Amino acid sequence: MSHPGRGILTIVSGFAGSGKGTVMKKLTEKYDDLALSVSATSRAPRPGEEEGVSYFFKTREQFEEMIRADEFLEYAEYVGNYYGTPKDFVFKKMDEGYDVILEIELQGAMLIKKKYPESLLIFLTPPDAAELYGRLKGRGTETDEVIKRRMQRAAEEALCIKDYDYLVINDNIDDCVERVRGIIRSAHHSTAHETGMIDRMIKELNELTGGL
């Protein structure tokens, strides 16, 4: 990663109905070396939302000033409000040794991968399309029209799964949490992450053999 942080930046996306939120919650509850990224937004806080925990709340003017100062890993505007991932928070946590997890949709994930190729992209999915449909129906909170749109969106998103590094099936929440955890742990040993160690080893071997 161009940023020298010791932690791994992991980006998790998934279909609506993949159970992303629950997996993220369990992961960060179980492993205290994992930290969830906190987004900034220009929308007003809702009752119970806490500054720096739910979101970093900003005015539109503050948010636009941050955009100009290149302070976001990625940002987007939805129905009149800005949402974005502040670099500062993520890099600080990584410097402290945390592996930082960003739950973010496909377009944002692709933007970050482009800027930071060593970030780890994981896509979550239920075991099959019927299960996805069943979960969306089972919520009982959305109209058939909304469910249809979500399924169409899933069909489009599926075409981009190959651009992620890993595909993890969420058939059982505990297994899924362990798979994601294992993938992040393994990434610490990738040669892309271990460039410092490799450079040190080359230097040491040259010095030592020079003296033999």
Binding site for a copy of itself (CB under 8 A): 123, 125, 128-130, 132-133, 144, 147-148, 151-152, 154-155, 158-159, 161-169, 179, 182-183, 185-186, 189-191, 194-195, 197-198, 200-202, 204-209, 212
Shortest distance, position 133 Cβ to a copy of itself, whole Å: 6
Answer for the pair 124, 154: CB distance below 8 angstroms, yes or no. no
Shortest distance, position 38 Cβ to a copy of itself, whole Å: 27
Shortest distance, position 192 Cβ to a copy of itself, whole Å: 8
Q: Is 88 exposed, middle or buried (0-12, 13-18, 19+ CB in 10 A)?
A: middle
Residue closer to a copy of itself by CB (options 61, 156) is 156
CA distance linking residue 81 with residue 55, whole number of Å: 13
Residue closer to a copy of itself by CB (options 90, 132) is 132
Nearest to 102, CA basis, from 33, 1, 20: 20
Shortest distance, position 24 Cβ to a copy of itself, whole Å: 17
Q: Does residue 176 come out as left (phi exceeding 0), alpha (psi in the -120 to 50 range) or beta?
A: alpha
Q: Please name the residues in contact with 116: beta carbons below 8 A apart, sequence gap of 6 or more.
A: 1, 2, 3, 9, 73
Residue closer to a copy of itself by CB (options 1, 147) is 147
Residue closer to a copy of itself by CB (options 2, 191) is 191
Shortest distance, position 108 Cβ to a copy of itself, whole Å: 18
Residue closer to a copy of itself by CB (options 22, 195) is 195
First to last CA, the chain: 35
Nearest to 169, CA basis, from 143, 131, 140, 198: 131
